[in-house]
Amino acid sequence: MSAKRFLAGCVLLVTTAACDSSTAPSGTRVGLSFSGVRPAGVAAGFMAQTANAVGDSLSVTDGTNTLVITKVEVVAREIELRRVGITSCDSSASTDDCESFSTNAQLVVLPLAQASTQVLTVDVPAGTYSSMRLKVHKVSDDVGDAAFLVANPTWPARQSIRVTGFYNGTAFTYLSDVNFHAEQTLTPNLVVDATTATNLTVRIDLSIWFRNGATGPLIDPTTAGSGGANKSVVENNIKNSVKAFEDKDRDGDERDG
pLDDT of the residue at 147: 92
pLDDT at 139 over 80: yes
Model confidence at 86: pLDDT above 50: yes
- How would you write the chain as a 3-class SS string? CCHHHHHCCCCCCCCCCCCCHHHCCCCEEEEEEEECCCCCCCCCCHHHHHEEEECCEEEEECCCCEEEEEEEEEEEEEEEEEECCCCCCCCCCCHHHEEEEECCCEEEECCCCCCCEEEEEEEECCEEEEEEEEEECCCCCCHHHHHHHHHCCCCCCCCCEEEEEEECCEEEEEEECCCEEEEEEEEEEEEECCCCCEEEEEEECHHHCCECCCCCCECCHHHCCCCCCCHHHHHHHHHCCEEEEECCCCCCCHHHC
User: What average pLDDT is seen over the chain?
Assistant: 81
What confidence tier does 40 reach under pLDDT thresholds 50, 70, 90?
A: low
pTM: 0.81
Q: What average pLDDT does this structure show over 58-79?
A: 93
Lowest mean pLDDT among 6-15, 116-125, 157-166, 190-199: 6-15
List pLDDT tens digits, range 25-35.
Answer: 456 888 889 99
Q: Which residue has the higher pLDDT, 194 or 90?
A: 194
Q: CA-CA distance, 1 to 131, in Å (whole number)?
A: 22
Q: What is the mean pLDDT of residues 58-73?
A: 94
Residue 223 banded pLDDT, cuts 50, 70, 90: very high
- Residue 95, pLDDT score: 54
Amino acid identity, position 52: N
Average the pLDDT over each of 32-36, 194-198, 209-213 and give the range with the smallest value. 194-198
